[in-house]
Amino acid sequence: MTNLDYFMAAYIFVWVGVFIYLLKLQRDQNRLRKELKSLKRIMAKGRDENKKI
């Protein structure tokens, strides 16, 4: 391996590491959004049922 290979390896590791973490944050955010959506649906449903009563 040349010095350039080592340098590129370190550089790639840094950005891949950061990218994976950002992906994890994004995935968590999407999961929470889905949860929020389903909760809103449940609440809306409950409100509609209350109106009927």
Total chain residues near other proteins (CB under 8 A): 23
Amino acid at 22: L
Angle at 27 between CA 25 and CA 28, to 5 degrees: 65
Interface positions, 18-47, toward other proteins (CB under 8 A)? 18, 21, 25, 28-29, 32, 35-36, 39, 42-43, 46
Closest to 12 measured CA to CA, from 1, 22, 20: 20
Residues within the interface to other proteins (CB under 8 A) = 1, 3-4, 6-7, 9-11, 13-14, 17-18, 21, 25, 28-29, 32, 35-36, 39, 42-43, 46
